[in-house]
Amino acid sequence: MAANWIWITRWIAVIGLAIGALGIISRLQAILSRPFKQDLARPRGSIRRGVLYAFTLGMAPWEKESTRLHWLAYFRGIFFHLGVFAAFAVLFASPWLAAAPGWLLWVARIFTGAGAVFGVAGIPMRWIGENERNLSTPDDYFAVLLTSIFTALAFGVLVEAALLPIFYLATALLAIYIPFGKIRHCVYFFFSKFFFGLTFGRRGVIGQPDAS
């Protein structure tokens, strides 16, 4: 009976992931269908250098005032997102976890456990900070909570395999929610970084040898 329940919930997770993927594709189509307004100013720098900077050094905490002044929030976000990535790795490897080496399971436990803790910590941090509290919507809190639960369940699965069905159900809910809630920033992130690097790299503002 337990094996059947795992099999059923695994397929529910697959269906949820498929629905989420279709939603993301729909979002991407909507983005790509928008007209692209060409920058008519004379190029002053390298687009390639700008895009490279945007996806590498441009994400360093000392490069932006918002993170340079708030290192705790920056590292909370880093560990939270690393935990989420590790949780998805656990998800896709879940049918073969029993055969995984012990050291790898411990690494996954560290990342998912830390990710869940730092994820949940983001909820009171949003409430305590006046600016964060004023800017946050119910969707922000729900997105952080749902992602933290998903990451925590990935940690739980690494400790007790009996939690797999709950983990799969949480996966389905998370995947379906992604295109509709704030978690869809995982799609917009790459576009915003690319066009940031393209625009300001072309203007010679970032990524250039003589750019400050």
Give the chain as a DSSP string.
-HHHHHHHHHHHHHHHHHHHHHHHHHHHHHHHTSPP----SPP-S-HHHHHHHHHTGGGSGGGSHHHHT-HHHHHHHHHHHHHHHHHHHHHHHGGGGGGS-HHHHHHHHHHHHHHHHHHHHHHHHHHHSHHHHHH--HHHHHHHHHHHHHHHHHHHHHH-GGGHHHHHHHHHHHHHHTTTSGGGHHHHHHHHHHHHHHHHHHTTSSSSTT--
Whether residue 99 is contained in a domain is answered as yes
In a domain, 20, yes or no: yes
Q: Which domain does 101 fall in, by range?
A: 2-32+65-202
What averages of pLDDT result for each successive group of 10 residues across the chain (212 residues)?
81 96 90 80 84 85 72 85 96 92 95 96 84 85 94 96 95 94 84 86 80 48
Stated pTM of the model? 0.85
In a domain, residue 81? The reply is yes
Q: What pLDDT, on a 0 to 100 scale, did the predictor assign at position 53?
A: 87
Query: Does residue 21 form part of some domain?
Result: yes
What is the structure's pLDDT at 1?
Answer: 55
**51 inside domain:** no
The answer to whether residue 50 sits within a structural domain is no
In a domain, 137, yes or no: yes
Q: Domain holding 96: CATH number?
A: 1.20.950.20
How many domains is the chain built from?
Answer: 1
